[in-house]
């Protein structure tokens, strides 16, 4: 089975969590998807780059989620989600690439 990069999992968790919350109108369901993807990504980060990097990237993941809210007021919901997802993917890739 092919391994999915943690960067893709993290970005998908941010986009997917928002999409689920928006389309089902159940924010807790979107939050569960966001958390599940974050846990999978954190496991991958820990395996690829170690515990300190995984901790930092998990903090960045939560900050990206939180930061999307005020950003959405300025640029709109979807552009904000895609912006933070892209930033999270790039950060994850850079950290795990450096450790590889």
Q: Within a domain: residue 40?
A: yes
Q: Within a domain: residue 2?
A: no
**Domains identified in the chain, total number:** 1
Answer for the pair 87, 10: CB distance below 8 angstroms, yes or no.
no
Report the pLDDT value the prediction gives residue 2, as an integer from 0 to 100.
Answer: 52
Whether the per-residue pLDDT at 1 is higher than 80: the answer is no
Q: Within a domain: residue 1?
A: no
Q: Within a domain: residue 15?
A: yes
Gyration radius of the chain's alpha carbons: 13
Q: What is the pTM of this model?
A: 0.93
Read off the DSSP letter of residue 94.
Answer: H
Of the chain, the percentage scoring pLDDT greater than 70 comes to: 96
Residues 6+ apart with CB under 8 A from 10: 37, 38, 41, 57, 61, 85, 88, 89, 92
Whether the per-residue pLDDT at 98 is higher than 90: the answer is no
Mean pLDDT for 73-92 is 98
Provide the domain limits for residue 88.
7-99
Taking only the tens place, the pLDDT of each residue in 37-75 is 999 999 999 999 999 999 999 999 999 999 999 999 999
């Amino acid at each position: 089975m092919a391994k999915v990069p943690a960067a893709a999992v993290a970005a998908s968790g941010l986009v997917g969590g928002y999409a689920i919350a928006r389309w089902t109108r159940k924010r807790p369901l979107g939050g569960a998807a966001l958390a599940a993807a974050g846990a999978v990504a954190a496991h991958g980060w820990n395996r690829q780059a170690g515990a300190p990097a995984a901790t930092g990237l998990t903090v960045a993941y939560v900050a990206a989620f939180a930061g999307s809210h005020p950003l959405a007021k300025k640029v709109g919901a979807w552009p904000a989600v895609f912006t933070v997802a892209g930033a999270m993917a790039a950060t994850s890739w850079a950290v795990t690439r450096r450790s590889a």
